[in-house]
């Protein structure tokens, strides 16, 4: 491939809204361009990288016994109604109608479609297990598409679905997919962490996410300083905190005029915030309406919203307005778990807790000396795990870090096969729903994730398996026939050895511009044929460290081979 014939529109300008390096460099390097919010075109360079990533994914999945299929992008809404997701999915689902008024959904994920494909085609346990995948466009009408390819509306996902006759076999496949994903992300040159994830309202047990570690990641990960434990903050666990030095109080109602916040209450009673119970009032949204829910936790803890949402099986929770709070009969600042008339959930760490201070559910009053030992209420895990909390696996300290979710594997069970009536006959001729697993990779997101982890202030630093070309042969002055033919010769040699190389043979660009493009685009190596070529010397530059070495022209290819090893 020659630069002079290629379409690589690099620019100095980054889009105004591009705050992340990956967003800036992918646009500036001529990999992608934005069409509309969260919708991107791939230019030739971007398409080459995309195909390289797809190739790695496909090779590893095929080696693990998965089969590639390709399903329709426009999916009948009927299927979504049957699975119960038509309403649940909310506004992210883009619904369209055809000329006959038939309703369709642009596929945001393909569980329903894949179950429909397998249903009535695989009918016996003898044909199980089976693992089918596709690498396919998805559409989610995300509320805040941003960060370039990291959160698009139209994006490319690898989605795989496995079908089994029993849970044990599904768990075996889940383990195999975990290992396969590790191979994929390692080959792509990523530093990642596998973390326990929230399984959402769908339920199910095991769910793990593959997080690329990067400061710009949208997900917060809780990890252990000592052992391998890692979890998305939405699912993280900690050892129950020990509260010491509690002050003793009799059970009593105490007048607390205008004393509302945890700080005010703590100061008023002369206690630590951990001896108070905090009430967080939210509005929960369900398929068929909404209600006010109060979550109670220790005064110095923070509510983890995903956990809160799961505890009441809501689709979403939002802040409640002052009117809604008043309408529910609650007095903000004075809400407590004793005698409350509104749906509530108490954090697990308060189970059996005694001698606490909480709101009295009347204006300007709190209760002291409160015991939750015999309260008839729902308890669940609601707390956000903090840095410094204690690991449940090894009793060492936990810390927070940031990650980009690039993969998610999920033990689904019969969540989709049951409502969609996708059954098979078992050994005894009994009809049963398939036990399923589902496995996703954010393929287009990976382009950004790789650059978030591998860049410097000059541009992209593609990894070995993802670089659009391994070598950029820069002919400093392409008007000089000698230099140009030396470059062409190297180009041919590398191509013959199946080392992907691009020849920068542009006659009208200066050397500085060419090296700038090399650094911005991020090929692994450059071979520079410049002034010293008179003395038979060329320069080799590593893009990752920008180290330069001079070698005789004849040794250039051998040196590249050595470096690539």
The residue among 307 and 408 lying less far from ligand ATP, judged by its C-beta, is 408
Which CB atom, from 158 or from 408, has the smaller least distance to Mg ion?
Answer: 408
Q: Would you say the C-alpha torsion 338, 343, 349, 351 has a positive or negative sign?
A: positive
Phi and psi angles of residue 475, each rounded to the nearest 5 degrees, phi first:
-90, 110
Site residues (CB under 5 A) for Mg ion, limited to 377-436? 408
Shortest Cβ distance from residue 442 to Mg ion (Å)?
A: 9
Other beta carbons within 10 Å of 243: 15
Q: Which position among 283, 366, 445, 506 is part of the footprint of ligand ATP (CB under 6 A)? A: 445
107 binds ligand ATP (CB under 6 A): no
Q: Establish if 85 lies at the interface with ligand ATP (CB under 6 A).
A: no
DSSP state string for 80-142: HHHHTHHHHTGGGS-EEE-TT--EEEE-S--HHHHHHHHTTTS-BGGG--EEEEEEEEEE---
How large is the angle between the packed helices 443-453 and 44-63, nearest 10 degrees?
Answer: 110
238/408 with CB nearer Mg ion:
408
Q: Rounded distance, CA 332 to CA 137, Å?
A: 46
Q: Count Cβ atoms below 10 Å from residue 407 Cβ, excluding itself.
A: 25
Number of residues that bind ligand ATP (CB under 6 A): 15
The single residue among 152, 230, 299, 433 that binds ligand ATP, judged by CB under 6 A, is 152
Question: Hey, which residues between 366 and 405 contact ligand ATP (CB under 6 A)?
Answer: 405
**Minimal distance, residue 405 CB to Mg ion, in Å:** 6
- Of 52, 85, 151, 506, the one binding ligand ATP by CB under 6 A: 151
- Closest approach, Cβ 54 to ligand ATP, in A, equals 14
Alpha carbon separation from 160 to 23, 49, 432, 440 (Å, rounded): 28, 22, 21, 6
Contact call for residue 190 and ligand ATP (CB under 6 A): no
Site for ligand ATP in 278-317 (CB under 6 A): none
In sequence order, the 6+-apart residues with CB closer than 8 A to the CB of 269 are 247, 249, 254, 275, 276, 357, 366, 368
Q: Which stretch binds ligand ATP (CB under 6 A): 21-29, 95-103, 148-156, 307-315?
A: 148-156
**Which of ligand ATP, Mg ion, none binds 157 (CB below 5-8 Å, type-dependent)?**
ligand ATP
Assess 407 for contact with ligand ATP (CB under 6 A): yes
Q: Does 158 bind Mg ion (CB under 5 A)?
A: no
Residue 215: exposed, middle, or buried by beta-carbon count in 10 A (0-12, 13-18, 19+)? exposed
CA 243 remoteness from chain centre: 35
Residue whose token pair is 């590398």: 494
Looking from the CA of 539 toward its CB, the CA atoms found within 13 Å total 15
Question: Using CB distances below 5 to 8 A depending on partner kind, what does residue 151 bind out of Mg ion, ligand ATP, none?
Answer: ligand ATP
Q: Counting contacts by CB under 6 A, is residue 437 touching ligand ATP? A: no
Question: Which of ligand ATP, Mg ion, none has residue 407 at its interface (CB below 5 to 8 Å by kind)?
Answer: ligand ATP
Q: In angstroms, rounded to a whole number, what is the distance separating the alpha carbons of residues 277 and 369?
A: 12
Task: Tell me whether residue 278 or residue 445 sits nearer to ligand ATP (CB atom).
Answer: 445
Pick what 406 binds: ligand ATP, Mg ion, none; C-beta below 5 to 8 Å, kind-dependent: ligand ATP
In this structure, are residues 478 and 488 in contact, taking their beta carbons and an 8 Å threshold?
no
194 binds ligand ATP (CB under 6 A): no
Q: Give the DSSP H or E segment for 371.
A: none
Q: Which is nearer to Mg ion, 347 or 452 (CB)?
A: 452
111 binds ligand ATP (CB under 6 A): no
Q: How many residues of this chain interact with Mg ion, rule: CB under 5 A?
A: 1
Q: Which residues bind Mg ion (CB under 5 A)?
A: 408
Contact residues toward ligand ATP (CB under 6 A) are 109, 140, 142, 151-152, 155, 157, 405-408, 440, 442, 444-445
């Amino acid at each position: 491939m020659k630069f002079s014939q290629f379409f690589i529109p690099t620019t100095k300008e980054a889009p105004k809204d591009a705050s992340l390096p990956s967003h800036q460099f992918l646009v500036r390097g001529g990999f992608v361009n934005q069409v509309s919010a969260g919708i991107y075109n791939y230019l030739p360079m971007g398409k080459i990288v995309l195909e390289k990533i797809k190739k790695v994914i496909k090779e590893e999945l095929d080696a693990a016994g998965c089969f590639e299929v390709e399903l329709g992008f426009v999916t009948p809404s009927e299927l979504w109604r049957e699975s119960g997701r038509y309403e649940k999915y909310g506004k992210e689902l883009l619904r369209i109608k055809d000329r006959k008024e038939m309703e369709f959904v642009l596929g945001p994920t393909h569980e329903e479609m894949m179950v429909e494909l397998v249903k009535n085609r695989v009918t016996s346990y003898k044909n199980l297990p089976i693992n089918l995948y596709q690498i396919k466009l998805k559409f989610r009408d995300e509320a805040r598409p941003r960060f370039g390819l990291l959160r698009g509306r139209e994006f490319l996902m690898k989605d795989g679905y496995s079908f089994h006759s029993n849970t044990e076999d599904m768990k075996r496949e889940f383990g195999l997919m975990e290992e396969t994903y590790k191979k994929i992300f390692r080959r792509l040159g990523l530093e990642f962490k596998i973390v326990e994830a929230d399984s959402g309202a769908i339920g199910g047990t095991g769910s793990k996410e593959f997080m690329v570690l990067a400061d710009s990641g949208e997900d917060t990960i809780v990890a252990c300083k000592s052992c391998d434990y890692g979890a998305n903050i939405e699912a993280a666990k900690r050892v129950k905190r020990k509260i010491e030095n509690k002050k003793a109080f009799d059970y009593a109602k105490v007048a607390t005029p205008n004393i509302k916040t945890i700080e005010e209450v703590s100061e008023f009673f002369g206690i630590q915030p951990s001896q108070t119970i905090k009430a967080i009032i939210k509005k929960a949204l369900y398929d068929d309406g909404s209600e006010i829910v109060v979550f109670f936790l220790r005064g110095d803890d923070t509510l983890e919203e995903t956990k809160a949402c799961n505890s009441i099986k809501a689709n979403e929770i939002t802040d409640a307005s002052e009117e809604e709070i008043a309408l529910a009969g609650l007095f903000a600042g004075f809400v407590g778990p004793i005698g409350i008339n509104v749906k509530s959930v108490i954090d697990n760490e308060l189970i059996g807790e005694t001698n606490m201070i909480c709101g009295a559910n009347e204006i300007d009053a709190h209760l002291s000396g409160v015991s939750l030992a015999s309260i008839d209420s729902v308890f669940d895990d609601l707390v956000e795990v903090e840095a410094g909390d204690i690991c449940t696996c090894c009793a060492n300290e936990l810390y927070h870090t940031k990650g980009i979710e690039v993969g998610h594997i999920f033990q689904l069970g019969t969540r989709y096969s049951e409502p969609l009536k996708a059954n098979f006959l078992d050994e005894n001729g009994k009809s049963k729903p398939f036990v399923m697993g589902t496995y996703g990779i954010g393929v287009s997101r990976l382009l950004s994730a790789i650059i978030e982890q591998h860049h410097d202030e000059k541009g992209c630093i593609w990894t070995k398996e993802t670089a659009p070309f391994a070598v950029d042969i820069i002919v400093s002055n392409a008007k000089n026939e000698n230099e140009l033919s030396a470059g062409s010769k190297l180009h041919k040699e590398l191509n013959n050895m199946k080392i992907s190389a691009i020849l920068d043979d542009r006659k009208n660009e200066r050397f500085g511009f060419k090296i700038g493009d090399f650094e911005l685009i991020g090929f692994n190596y450059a071979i520079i044929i410049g002034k010293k070529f008179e003395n038979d010397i060329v320069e080799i530059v590593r893009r990752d460290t920008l180290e330069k070495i001079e070698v005789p022209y004849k040794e250039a290819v051998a040196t590249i081979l050595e470096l690539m090893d």
